[in-house]
Structure 1
Amino acid sequence: MTRTTFTVETDDRLTTVDVTDRIAAAVPDDLGSGTCTAFVRHTTAGLVVQEDEPRLRGDIESFLRDLVPDEGHAHDELDGNADSHLRAMLVGLDVTILIENGRPALGTWQSVLFVECDGPRTRTVSVTTVEDEDKRR
């Protein structure tokens, strides 16, 4: 098992960032097959597997805004970011990806998108890889 972290810098309150290459770089070169889990260490951000196409990323952001209004939540009286917590809850904090031949086994159009719901910020993503038992030496 290996564990690494990387940071993501965001420049808007609600935005998406492709982190596929950073997750792939966290997979050890000698790992043949196994799993990789990426986890966001924040309550107002998340990760999804989706196509990295600019218009779709805009649609994802619009979808989250439509589902969760910016204002009108009880938590807003404390921090003013209840919408960010609720959006991140819908997105989810982690993704697990199969590793085959030392690389994430994503489909042709699949990418891992970091979803920022309370930016701009600097965020931390943890990546844990585990090699399949039958492949361990």
Structure 2
Amino acid sequence: MAFDVRTDERTTTVDVTDRVSAAVPEDASGVCTVFVEHTTAALVVQEDEPRLRRDIVSFVRDAVPDEGHAHDELDGNADSHLRATVLGPSVTVPVRDGELAFGTWQSILLVECDGPRTRTVTVTTVDR
């Protein structure tokens, strides 16, 4: 199952937990892998708290400078590729009785590094 996420800023976060949960079969127990089909966006499991979400954006901006990368000669978004590389394109979450088995406060956040864009997120559940 896949769904689209529209972002409205160059670097931002979007909570996709509810959409991922809706894609998990009701009777599933196993693992759920969530994958963003783009090289300039990422997924993380983290707390969905507004100040922390701003901190994530600040972290990726501070970790990778906006300019000075070889790929910028091609299309000017090397920083976005590198920021997404640091975070990664996928997360895996256990599933118990059709529910994502998160720890306290955990959510799935899409981290947009080159927006605004429409991103495709794929959800695959493997039942045990």
TM-score tier, shorter chain, comes to: over 0.9
Name the SS for the 2:85 alignment partner.
helix
Task: State the Cα distance separating 1:77 from its structure 2 match.
Answer: 1.0
2:27–2:97 contact (8 Å) kept in structure 1: no
2:102 alignment partner, SS class: coil
Equivalence for 2:45: 49
CA distance in 1 between counterparts of 2:13 and 2:102 reads 18
| TM-superposition CA deviations, 1:64-101 (whole Å, max 9, x none) | 11110111111111100000000000010000000011
- TM-score under structure 1 normalisation? 0.92
> Mind listing any 5+ residue stretches in structure 1 that lack a counterpart?
133-137
Unaligned runs of 5+ in 2: none
The structure with the largest alpha-carbon Rg is 1
Partner of 1:74: 70
Count how many residue pairs are aligned between Structure 1 and Structure 2.
128
Q: Quick one: which of 114, 124, 130 aligns to 2:126? A: 130
Match of 1:135 in 2: none
1:15 aligns with 2:7: no
Note if 1:85 corresponds to 2:100.
Answer: no
Q: What is the DSSP-based 3-state SS (H/G/I as helix, E as strand, rest coil) of the residue aligned with 2:105?
A: coil
**In the alignment, structure 1 residue 29 sits paired with structure 2 residue 32:** no
Tell me how large the CA RMSD over aligned residues is: 0.6
Q: 1:121 aligns with which of 96, 114, 117?
A: 117
Identity of aligned residues (%): 72
Offset, 1:103: 0.3
